[in-house]
Amino acid sequence: MRFAKLMLLSCLLIALTAVVCGGDAPAKEAPKAEDKAAEKDPEVATIDKKAPDFTLKDAAGTEHKLSNYAEKLVVLEWVNFDCPFVKKHYSKGDMVATARKYRDKGVVWLLVCSSGPGKQGNFEGKALTDRLTKEGVDAGHYLIDDKGTVGRAYQAKTTPHMFVIDKKGILRYQGAVDSVKSVEQADIAGATNYVAAALDELIAGKAVTTKETKPYGCGMKFAPKEEAKAEAKEPAKSEK
């Protein structure tokens, strides 16, 4: 009888220990809704989802792969230097100064030109080098997408058209540079800069308040789709 009581007491102690220990064990953190929504890579750029990965060469010939910038905030700026709306932001160096400000904070800021060959905004060779110098842009920050593949994947509508990607590779903002749709440089000072606002919130660890706006500017000057497809299907030349 005494033995039975001792066994029962032992079982109760074991059970109590399991309950206490189990209560102290940290619960697994449930995935955030926004992270769960971003798990699947979309075919086109979509807010709060993984930004489409890509590889493009810059004006100096160096390849840039978006996924190589993991753990960094990334800005993609679609550009056409001959567009009046782009000139608004470059004529006095406003866009260059903004990009420099955030690069100094660790942000990767890349320009993307999706103008096709022979289209407005497409520059090659010395013409490109001279234009980058004039605009104050480093060749290593200017990506060439002359087939328009990346521009179409991001559904770029205008130049400029801005995209902000967080450190997890999730698209957190897309749309206009600022709130004043004009070609006048004087309007910049009184406008709300949506890109700067999004970056400031992300740097502070906050959610982006304004996630999407309607971009304004010149229409994209893509190469014809047929031409881009033909170039993509052309077999690679074997190395000798």
Which ranges constitute the DSSP H helices of 25-170? Answer: 33-37, 84-90, 94-103, 125-135, 149-153
The model's pTM = 0.79
**Per-domain residue ranges of the chain:** 33-232
* 98: number of Cβ within 10 Å: 20
Longest dimension (CA), the chain: 100
Per-residue pLDDT at 24: 45
Q: Is 194 helix (H, G, I), strand (E, B) or coil?
A: helix
Cβ contact 185:88 at 8 Å: yes
Q: Is 111 helix (H, G, I), strand (E, B) or coil?
A: strand
Candidates 40, 45, 36; CA nearest to 174 is 45
Per-residue pLDDT at 43: 81
Compute the half-sphere exposure of residue 108: CA atoms within 13 Å on the CB side of its CA.
20
Candidates 193, 149, 153; CA nearest to 171 is 153
CATH number of 33-232: 3.40.30.10
pLDDT along the chain (240 residues), means of 10: 49 46 46 51 88 98 97 98 98 98 98 97 97 98 98 98 98 98 98 98 98 98 74 42
Cβ contact 220:151 at 8 Å: yes
Q: What share of the chain is helix, strand, coil (3-state, %, to 5)?
A: 40, 15, 45
